Amino acid sequence: MNNLVVFFAFSILVCLSHAIEVDFCVADRNLPRGPEGYACRDPATLTTDDFVYTGFRGGRTITNVPGNNVTLAFVDQFPALNGLGISMARLDFGVSGVIPVHSHRTSEVLIVSRGSIIAGFIDTNNTAYYRRLEVGDVMIFPQAMLHFQVNVGTTPATAFVSLNGANPAIQFTMNSLFGGNLPADIAQQITLLSNAEVMRMKRAFGTA
């Protein structure tokens, strides 16, 4: 009986363990992505350059209405992240620039490297947690929580974020409601906005 218990306990441990059989798995983006990421490129074809991302270099030109420029270092931009469960992004803000309310599949940690921003998130009890952040300050946004950033300084601002997923995705709330294929009458019902307000928003997103 004791041997049987030991056997089953060992079997459970084996099932729960995830043996690491390769050192890394740089994404082969020529093949389809699966639920766990991309297939691995042949290590024999890799060089040091495959493990270096230079997309955060230099300044940024900001021309969009929200006044931001977001540079992603997700797996599609940096294939070496495949399977590692991490990613990054650079957030640049013009004066009064914002990153509108959005969410990810993952948690996020942010550090301010230039300027001053207000950052915050809203939990499922509709409690908002927000704070003015200065250079060097760090804030965490828990997984799937709606969150935002606003430049409240008198100069441009920059922040860097890290997320615990190679493909965390970004879902902007306003884009989801008014920038996609959701019919205007349904958007009106679920947002309690008037038809005129919904159509104004859809025209702003080019979907009217």
Show the CA angle centred on residue 88, arms to residues 83 and 93, nearest 5°.
160
**Does the pLDDT at position 86 exceed 60?**
yes
Handedness of CA 74, 80, 81, 83 (dihedral sign): positive
- Does 147 belong to an annotated binding site? yes
The structure tokens listed for 77 are 């931009």
pLDDT of residue 36: 87
Q: What is the mean pLDDT of residues 183-191?
A: 96
User: Best-predicted range by mean pLDDT among 14-18, 34-38, 96-100?
Assistant: 96-100
> Would you state the pLDDT for residue 182?
96
For the stretch 98-154, pLDDT in tens is 999 999 999 999 999 999 999 999 999 999 999 999 999 999 999 999 999 999 999
Give me the residue spans of the domains in the chain.
Answer: 33-169, 175-205
Q: Regarding the domain with residue range 33-169, which homologous superfamily does it belong to in the CATH classification?
A: Jelly Rolls (2.60.120.10)
Q: Which amino acid, 51?
A: F
The structure's pTM equals 0.86
Nearest to 103 by CA among 118, 88, 123: 123
Mean pLDDT, the chain, rounded, equals: 92
Confidence tier at 166 by pLDDT (50, 70, 90) = very high
Annotated ligand binding at 102? The verdict is yes
Q: What is the mean pLDDT of residues 1-14?
A: 52
Strand ranges across the sheet with 157-163 = 68-73, 87-93, 157-163, 108-114, 138-141
Q: What angle do CA 153, 157, 163 make, to 5 degrees?
A: 125
Question: What pLDDT, on a 0 to 100 scale, did the predictor assign at position 19?
Answer: 53
